[in-house]
Amino acid sequence: MNDPANSSPSPVLPAGEPVPYLDLAAQMRPLRAEVDAAIAAALDRCSFVLGPDVAAFEREFAAVCGAQHCVAFNSGTSALHVALRLLDIGPGDEVITTPYTFVATSWAIRYVGARPVYVDIDDQTFNLDPLKVGRAITPRTKAMLPVHLYGQPCALGPLLEICQHAGIPLVEDAAQAHGALYGGRPVGALGRLGAFSFYPGKNLGAYGEGGALTMNDDALAARARSLRDHGSTRRYYHDELGYNYRMEGLQGAILRVKLQRLAAWTAARRRVARRYQELLADTPLRLPQEAEGSQSVWHLFVVRHPDRDALKAHLEAAGIGCALHYPLPLHLQKCFADLGYREGDFPVAEQTARECLALPIYPELTDAQIERVVAVIKGFFQR
Ligand SMILES: *Cc1c(COP(=O)(O)O)cnc(C)c1O
């Protein structure tokens, strides 16, 4: 820890000083004047739903994702739901997906009446294991829905190859991975559709709910705009079953301000992750690693240890925020009991759920805060 190459001028955080798991106030402070002005301008325009700010945000976010189109939604969950509607997936169809993610990934599949078919995750990356996917494909498989979990791109190359062989589309759940790179290219437009969330705690967060779909297909984009707006392209004429999934004008205005910071925030998250990796290297924790050829945006920094519950209690007692993402894999959730999965079906996901612990990570986390988190963790192993 005293390696001069790693030394930082920051003072040591006083013992007992808490480190919050997430600190949205720290992010808001330097943005406040600009956000206030953007909100005031949006209020003056009275474009409360969709409107020019949302349209401008769609263009700017599409560019960041290297996508031809971005269609904004009122949440990531809505965007995922519409993605599966766009692919005409419905009852009797199967969608291959991961059991180790936030529940909304699977909601989309259930909302259209299809069946999630889970495949276990890779032990290194926390993402869908391409080596296990082949066995899960049946004549009823209509799509694959992998997640870029914690900001780390999934194995898109191998997964896209499998999809191509099977003749099915791949939808990226990129809700945690704004700006992540796979083979040097941003995620979101590498499969048929990409779904993003702008929930406040995500790497790019609205001040409320928000989401988006990205794609390189004009017809899919046009239909996505219709589906989010009551299935209509002309007011009071409705072509198909639609939804009220529109983004609010204020969220578009706020997201435009925040999008300008995304690259700097990602660089700061990557720096925090590197610092944790250096400082925690000599502990018994299993540390998250970046997969070869991809750049994670480090939405979360998730370590693993068999004595996770005791470590979590130790951190909390010292005022260090930490969290479980996710304590129970989806195949064991009560809401999906009808799918018939059992404990033992996906051993890697199950063990990860028992051992995972997410540490504080956000662009504003200081060196002193990182060092305090590390010192408390080292204290746990010196007991
Ligand atoms: C947050 C999240 C969603 C859902 O997004 P909301 O905007 O909260 O509806 C979907 N999938 C993953 C992996 C997420 O993390």
Q: Which atom of ligand 1 is nearest to the CA of 197?
A: 7
Specify the ligand 1 atom closest to the Cα of 80.
Answer: 10
Q: What is the pLDDT of residue 163?
A: 98
Q: What dihedral angle (degrees, nearest 10) is formed by the CA atoms of 129, 130, 134, 137?
A: 70
Distance 333 CA to ligand 1 centre (A): 17
Sequence-separated (6 or more) residues with CB below 8 Å from residue 310: 380
Which parts of the chain register pLDDT below 70?
A: 1-14
- CATH of region 31-259: 3.40.640.10
- Given the CA of residue 147, which atom of ligand 1 is nearest to it? 13
Q: Which of 127, 199, 245, 298 to mutate to test the pocket of ligand 1 (most atoms within 8 A of CB)?
A: 199
Q: What residue's CA is closest to ligand 1, atom 14? A: 175
Beta-carbon contacts of residue 241 (< 8 Å; ≥ 6 apart): 231
326 prior amide bond cis, ω within 30? yes
Closest ligand 1 atom to Cα of 199:
7
Centre of ligand 1 to C-alpha 320, Å, is 25
User: Which of 105, 110, 213, 302 for a ligand 1 pocket mutation test, highest count of atoms within 8 Å of Cβ?
Assistant: 105
Q: Measured in angstroms, how far is the CA atom of residue 44 from the centroid of ligand 1?
A: 31
CB crowding 43-77: b at 16 or more within 10 Å, else e: eeeebeebbebbeebbeebbebbebebbbbbbbbb
User: Which residue, judged by its Cα, is nearest atom 10 of ligand 1?
Assistant: 104
CATH 3.40.640.10 placement within the chain: 31-259
Give span(s): CATH 3.90.1150.10, the chain. 4-20+261-381
The span from the CA of 58 to the CA of 255, in Å, is 10
Contact 304, 284 (CB under 8 A): no
Q: Whose CA is nearest to atom 5 of ligand 1?
A: 76
Question: Residue 359: which region, alpha, beta or left (left: phi > 0; alpha: psi -120 to 50)?
Answer: beta
3-class DSSP state for residue 128? strand
Q: How far is the CA of 198 from the centre of ligand 1 (A)?
A: 8
Strand, helix or coil for residue 188: coil
pLDDT tens digits for range 298-323: 999 999 999 999 999 999 999 999 99
pLDDT at 5: 41
* Residue showing tokens 């992540």: 180
What pLDDT is attached to residue 17?
Answer: 85
User: Which residues have C-beta atoms less than 6 Å from ligand 1?
Assistant: 75-77, 101-102, 104-105, 147, 173, 175-176, 197, 199, 209, 211
What local confidence, expressed as pLDDT, does residue 8 receive?
Answer: 44
Pocket probe for ligand 1: among 101, 121, 197, the residue whose CB has the most ligand atoms within 8 Å is 197
CA of 80 to the centre of ligand 1 (A): 9
Rounded Cα–Cα distance for residues 279 and 199 (Å): 30
Tell me yes or no: is domain 4-20+261-381 CATH 3.90.1150.10.
Answer: yes
Ligand 1 centroid – CA 88 distance (Å): 21
CA of 326 to the centre of ligand 1 (A): 13
Q: Report how far residue 338's alpha carbon sits from residue 327's, in angstroms, rounded to the nearest whole number.
A: 20
Bridge partners of 211? Answer: 73, 197
